[in-house]
Amino acid sequence: MNPPTSPKRRFKSNVTWLLGPQLINGLWRIVSYWLMRRTFDQRSWMTATVDRRFTTPPANGEPLWWDYIADTGDGQLAMYNLATLLYSDLHEGEARQLAFEGDPERRLPRGSFLLCGGDTAYHVADRATLAVQFQAPFQWAWADLVAAGRVSELDPRRPLYGLPGNHDYYDELDGFGRQFRRPLVGEDHAELALPGFERLQTASYSAIALPHGWWLWAIDLELGSLDLRQRQFFASIHPGGSPARLIVATPEPSTFDGIRARPTDTISVAFAQLGLEAAFLDEPLRPGRCRLDLSGDTHNYQRYAGPAEYGGAARYASVVSGGGGAFLQSTSIDFGQVPRRAVFPPPEVTRTRIALLLLSWRTLARSGLVAAIGGAMITMLYVATSFVPSTRTMFANVLGTVFGLCHERTSWRAVDGACTALPAPTAYCHALWILGSIIACTGLAVFASRFANGKPPGVPHQIVSDRRYNWSAALVLAATALPWVTVTLVGDQPAADVYTDVLSAALVAGLVVGLLVTAVSRGASNRGFAGACLFAAFGAFHAAFQLFVPLTLLRMFSWQALAVDVGIFAVASVVGRWLVRRGSTWPLVALWLAAGLGLLVLPRLASGNSTFVPDALAPRLAAVAAAFIVGWVSTSVQLGWYFMATFMIGGHGIEAATVARIGDYKEFIRFRLDPDGSLTGHVIAFAAAQPDGCALRPYLADKFTIRSDAA
């Protein structure tokens, strides 16, 4: 039989996360979901049924095979490769290698059904995104395999099941329902149909009865709790308690990156409500029982609490299998609360690949509009601090005091005179008054709305008293009065000065606060107070580099300063790549800080103590254009280096991965359920995505067995 061949296709790359077009398009739905997720519960209208079509064991003592994949629908190439493998029978060879043809005794046949474990498409799993990033790659893979004679249009359709994640809920489950719910018409005429599959689901959660006493429960916990209907549905399956042999699929893992769930987390509470032991919290399973906790959400493969060796057996394992096509997350981040039994890809591979990509400013520049927005912000600050008298005076104090730039020139070389710096930055005080008034006014209005409509935790409905509305009205009146107080204090300032002063202060404050909050909330996650303080310091340095490196270069506006900056960046890049390949961590942090401080200090020593203020139209337009380019490149460099340095010491893992957008190293699990009641998972992976299906080189990244009589 001939290997599959693929026509030349232009595969859509992975989606961009730093304010890329797709993210901006779906941003309002993402924000709406997080604001209203506790208010509306789509599951209240669902009625699930138990699927018992697989209860009877296959004939002749054959095992039952089925497939699991999660976090799909990102880059089309990776999804096409995975679909090719999901549609194919594979054969195990030497050294864990897999092939499309081989020994029939070592065959891993295509699964009798496929379960998609959450986040079916990115960023928002709506109808259009699912059609392009999920359905189309499956159609291409099916067409190629039909042409090669590996599958047939006459093959019976196999069930397709789904479990929603947060990206499915961003579309209020509309796209998810179109993709997985039983269609009203036949599969041949239904939308989002996948060749070779049929949809049978009637709810976002499901229960599948498997042979030899096994059950598969797919539990929808994405809204933060287990709703009453879902709880009653699973309780009705086994009135006397949970099944002795059970696979529990959830949208988020119980254990990942070496961190176990806390007793108060959603998954822990839900398991207790269903009468399931919290084995991930070291609660032992009852005698004669075995269980597999299965999830995606983290975009790699991790196995916990199972057999220590490849191919070993145990009664319990917690498995994360999120390598179904979305951007690759690093396996190098390990907090060590729980020992990992197996991971894919190897930690050193992901750490090196991601860090090297972050060292290139082009990587971040192509990851969305953040770099362009940074360029626009620097341009606005440059215009305000160069051409508007009050803002120019305000920043002249900073440039003169901190950086020693105490002269101005209107030509490229000559020094025309000293800066007209004010002894006390009164314009800065005016800007703070107005900006503070705007923030306070907005905050009071928002708080008033929340106060009037607030509900105690856990109380879905409450009649609000008139007294609460009176307090809300008082807060609104206070917010209305604030701007008039501000106008009374600073109303004698020219409108242009007030506008640029406030805009400049808002940009600086927003940049500094935003980077500090991001550093502490995202970079220092799970690191305690000491880690928060460390990353707050990193955030402060990052803010200083993002703000003053491009501004000082633009204000000096000399070839000497530009040459010094380019030289520092070139040397730091070479040294950084060498350190990354050596696996260094803290030396890279030191290099980032040293390079940033060098970019602030050394150009001033090379260029002198004067700043350039063009006084003609043509030089001003040229300077503004240069400001955008410098700001765009500087934002890319500084943000990429910050993510790289902090990623190497275990911070900002998700942010670094979203910038790198690696489409290689994908996996899914093919399960075998044997007549003796043992469940074996074969983790099928590939290292490099290929535009031609026959060029794939899949292999077994891991293999484990769950059975009740294991140690």
The larger pLDDT score, comparing residue 178 to residue 449, is at: 178
User: What pLDDT sits at residue 448?
Assistant: 64
Q: Give yes or no for a contact between 125 and 74, defined as CB atoms under 8 angstroms apart.
A: no
State the pairing for strand pair 107-108/90-92: antiparallel
Q: Which two tokens stand for residue 180?
A: 């997985």
Q: Which two tokens stand for residue 139?
A: 């159609």
Residue ranges covered by each domain of the chain: 21-345+665-706, 362-423+507-658
In angstroms, what CA-CA distances link 34 with 28, 39, 121, 165, 442?
10, 10, 18, 13, 20
pLDDT in tens, 295-317: 999 999 999 988 888 888 899 99
Q: Which two tokens stand for residue 227?
A: 């709703």
Contacts of 288 (CB under 8 A, 6+ apart): 244, 708
State the pairing for strand pair 197-199/206-209: unpaired
Residue 159 DSSP symbol: E
Q: What are 247's strand-pairing partners?
A: 216, 292
Residue with tokens 């880690």: 531
Distance CA 615, CA 612 (A): 10
Distance CA 708, CA 711 (A): 8
Distance CA 448, CA 595 (A): 47
What confidence tier does 652 reach under pLDDT thresholds 50, 70, 90? very high
Is residue 614 predicted with pLDDT exceeding 60? yes
Closest CA to 127 of 174, 172, 62: 174
Distance CA 75, CA 79 (A): 6
Mean pLDDT for the chain overall: 87
C-alpha angle 699/686/17, rounded to 5°? 155
In angstroms, what CA-CA distances link 23 with 15, 298, 329, 366, 660?
8, 19, 19, 14, 16
User: Any alpha helices (H) in 13-62, and if so which ranges?
Assistant: 21-36
User: What percentage of residues in the chain have a pLDDT greater than 90?
Assistant: 63
In angstroms, what CA-CA distances link 385 with 350, 388, 396?
43, 6, 8
CATH superfamily of 21-345+665-706: Metallo-dependent phosphatases (3.60.21.10)
Q: Give yes or no for a contact between 9 and 691, defined as CB atoms under 8 angstroms apart.
A: yes
pLDDT in tens, 533-562: 999 999 999 999 999 999 989 888 888 899
Distance CA 672, CA 679 (A): 6
Q: Which two tokens stand for residue 13?
A: 């790359």
Is residue 423 predicted with pLDDT exceeding 50? no
Residue 2 DSSP symbol: P
State the pairing for strand pair 50-51/206-209: parallel
Q: In what helix (H) or strand (E) does residue 295 lie, and over which residues does it extend?
A: strand 290-295
User: What pLDDT sits at residue 558?
Assistant: 85
Lowest mean per-residue pLDDT among 171-175, 348-352, 462-466? 462-466
The larger pLDDT score, comparing residue 102 to residue 607, is at: 102
The larger pLDDT score, comparing residue 444 to residue 104, is at: 104
User: What pLDDT sits at residue 313?
Assistant: 87
What mean pLDDT do residues 443-453 have?
62
User: What percentage of residues in the chain have a pLDDT greater than 70?
Assistant: 86
What confidence tier does 420 reach under pLDDT thresholds 50, 70, 90? very low
